[in-house]
Structures are given as structure tokens and as C-alpha cells.
Structure 1
Amino acid sequence: MAHHERHLLHRSGWLRAAVLGANDGIISTASLLMGVAAAGANHQALLMTGIAGLVAGALSMAAGEYVSVSSQTDIEQADLAREAEELQTNPDSELRELTAIYTQRGLSPALAAQVAQALSEHDSLAAHARDELGLHDMNQAQPLQAALASAFAFSSGAALPLITAWLAPHAQAQSWFTVSTLPFLALLGIVAADTGGASRWKSVSRVVLWGALAMAATALIGHWFGVTPV
């Protein structure tokens, strides 16, 4: 009977961008709205602030992810090109280098040399990319995927406190933000933990704690610098 294992590493690229985007969308938008509400803004100003925060944040997250992951891709491609050149100009040295890597991982020198030779004959660049540079197809950087996942996740997260701002009685907006946002963050932590195979408790406690601190800080700033709307 065939043995199948379910690994989750292939999700690391988009999962990181999605969790970061949703977490930032909820926390930054809720905190922004909390601070503006604490400063005494009216209901219309509160909604316009939330919409502006959603649009600006989603575009900023997408641009940041695309630029960041593109830079990572450029580095990976440069390393691969350098490795391909070395394999062309000095294949014996590269073979010894690969052998040394396998020896350090626990193979006997003779077996390491045999494995290095066999893998080099099959696809030397792939062997060096995987075992020397640590590059794998499953965690290869994908800029567009990361940008889209981040923008969509941020918008989804930011929509939650924005809907709360729309539905909440204006006088009770801050309380509504607190009561609604923390469960949203807890749910995000559970989803992230289940998708990535991590501990629910650790994931939930991280996002809830930092979310609560962010909202408390912006609410305090709003009270300090509060203005009476004209």
C-alpha cells in the first residue's frame, strides 16, 4: 500500500502573506478607527477614514509584498546563475563541495561521493540549488501570488472593523470595536494555526495580545489629541 504524507510547507509563501495581510487589515483599521473615534470624529468621518485606510492599506501591502518577494527572487536567480557558471567552469570543485555537504549530514565519505556523483549526473544545478543554497520548488518566492494574497487578505480583514463602524451606534463605537475586533483576531489565529499545522493557543494569543495593545495605544492617543468636530 502506498504511503502518503501530508506536508504543509508548500503553503508557507501565500500563508505568510495572507495571515500578515489579514492581521494587519484588522488591527490597523480597527486601531485607526478607534483613535479617530476617541478623538471625537463624527460618523461620516469615521466611515471615510475606514474606507481610506482599507484602500491605502491594501495597495501598500500588495506593493510591499511584491517588491520584497521580487527582491528575494532576484537574489535567488542571481545565486542560481552564479552556481550554473561555477558548474560550467569548475565542475570537479563543485562535485567535491556537494560531497562535503552530504558527508557533514552523516553519510560516509564513500557513500557521499556516490550520491553526489549520481545527483550531479541527473541534474547538477538542481542538486546544488537544493542542498547547497536551500532552494526548493515548494517554497520558491512568487511575487505576484504574495502581492495578491496580501492585498485580498488585508481588504478582507479591514472590512470587518469597517462594517462594525457602519453598524455601531456612534456613541458606542469604541466599545463595539473592542468587542468585535478581538474575536475576529482570535478567529484569524485559529484559521492560521489550522492551515499551517501550528498550535491554536500560541497563534491566538499572539494576534489578540498585539491587537489589543495597538487599539489601546491609538485610543489613548485619540483621547490625548482629541478635537471637537466643526
Structure 2
Amino acid sequence: MATPKHDVGVQEAHDHIDYSQRSQWLRAAVLGANDGLITVASLMMGVGAVKEDVKAMFLIGFAGLIAGACSMAIGEFVSVYSQLDIEVSQMKRDKLSMREMSEVVTMEKDEKLPNPVQAALASALAFSLGAIVPLLAAAFIGSYKVRLVVVSAAVSLALVIFGIVGAVLGGSSPANSCVRGLFGGWMAMGITFGLTKLIGSKGLAM
């Protein structure tokens, strides 16, 4: 049975997708989302280890969201801008004559150069998106134990979703991406909760 021309065209287009073109913004977005999710959830779990008040958990989570989003954006902007400077300088050094130097501007337009603003915005937005998950999960639950369980479950589900989305966009294995994300998230929350609980049990003033 012959394959329809339309299906052949779609398959060819899929086969020719250059996933490396997505690496810059995808890396920033996936890193930002996972960092926001895990960082804020870990902060909230740490506070939850010594305080049962939902207000304390929410406030520390919200502060973590704002601080983390700003930090991610600034860090990505500085990092990617440095990368951009290096690549542009290298392009100019590769020119061996004044005639070739006149073509630098044209080359810069044609090359897929790093975009600092795009990376910064992607990181900040993704971090905020990830951080909102544990905040919403804890905001309306009064029971202390139920709140911890719901936050952990919501974070785990979000890690799976982010892992699948990142893998599909990057053309990699969803299973491997999900396992890495879940393991890292559980480890971060568990360590933060355990160490904070330990310190709190020593009678330090809170």
C-alpha cells in the first residue's frame, strides 16, 4: 500500500528537524522550570519540617519564587552574553583580510548566535512556572500532614510533565528525562526536610 504524499512530507519534515537549534532556549527553559519547582518545594518542605503554619510555608515559597526568578534571569543573561561576546570575537579573529572583515556583519546575521535576552526571559518565566506548583498545592490546605503529602505529589507530577515536555522538544527519551527529574527532586526535598528537621530538633531558636 502506497504511503500518501502528505504523510511522506510530514515524516520528511520531522526527520529533518534540527534539535540542536532548540538547545539554547530549551536548556534555559527546562533548567528554569525544574529549578523553580525543586528549589521552592524544598524551601517549603524545609520550613514545613519545623513549622506547621501554612502562612510560613507560603511566604518562604513566594520569597523563593521572586528571588530565584531574578537570580536565574540575571545569571542566564550574564552567562549567555559572555558566550555571545566570545563567539563574535572568534568570528572576527577568523578573518584574515580587510575584505573579509567587511563580511562580519553579514555573517553575524546568518549565524545562530546566542540571545541573552531570550535566555534570561525563558529562565525567569520557566522558574516562576515551576515555583507556582508547590505554592498552589500548599495554599489552601490547612492540615499539616496532608499539605506535605499534596506538595510532594504535585511536585512529582510536575517533574514528570516537565521531563516529558523537555524530552519531546529535545528529541530525547522521555523515560530517562522523567527518572532523572524525579530522583533529583525527591533527593533535594528529602535532604532539605531531613537536615532542617535535625537542626530544629536541637533546640535552635526559630
Checking the alignment, whether the CA contact within 8 Å between 1:182 and 1:208 is kept in structure 2 is: yes
* Amino acid corresponding to residue 88 of structure 1 in structure 2: S
- Which residue matches 2:178? 204
Matched residue count = 189
Q: CA deviation at 1:180?
A: 1.4
Secondary structure of the structure 2 residue equivalent to 1:189: helix
Q: Which has the higher contact order (CA 8 A, sep 6+)?
A: 1
**How far apart, in 2, do the equivalents of 1:181 and 1:82 lie?**
48
- Following superposition of structure 1 onto structure 2, how do residues 1-230 of structure 1 map, counting pairs within 5 Å? 4=13, 5-84=16-95, 87-88=96-97, 137-138=111-112, 140-172=113-145, 173-226=147-200
Shift of 1:170: 3.8
In structure 2, stretches of 5+ residues that fail to align are none
Q: Which runs of 4+ in 1 moved over 3 A?
A: 1-4, 123-126, 227-230
CA distance in 1, matches of 2:205, 2:157: 31
Q: Secondary structure at the match of 1:169?
A: coil
- Asked whether the 8 Å contact 2:54–2:144 carries over to 1, the reply is no
Deviation at 1:225, TM superposition (A): 1.9
Task: Report the Cα distance in structure 1 between the residues aligned to 2:135 and 2:154, rounded to whole angstroms.
Answer: 11
Q: Quick one: distance in 1 between partners of 2:168 and 2:142?
A: 35
CA RMSD of aligned residues (A): 2.6
In the alignment, residue 66 of structure 1 is paired with which amino acid? F
In the TM superposition, what whole-angstrom CA distance separates every residue of 1:79-106 from its partner, at most 9, and x where no partner exists? 112112xx217x9xxxxxxxxxxxxxxx
- Of structures 1 and 2, the larger Rg is shown by 1
Percent identity, aligned pairs only? Answer: 40
> Separation in 2 of the partners of 1:151 and 1:221?
28
Kept after mapping to 2: 8 A contact 1:25/1:157 = yes
Give the 3 Å change call, closer, same or farther, for CA 170–49 of structure 1 in structure 2. farther
C-alpha displacement of 1:169 = 2.8
Q: Is the 8 A contact 1:22 1:158 kept in 2?
A: yes
Give the structure-1-normalised TM-score.
0.74
How many Å apart are 1:228 and its aligned residue? 9.1
Q: What is the TM-score when the length of structure 2 is the normalising length?
A: 0.83
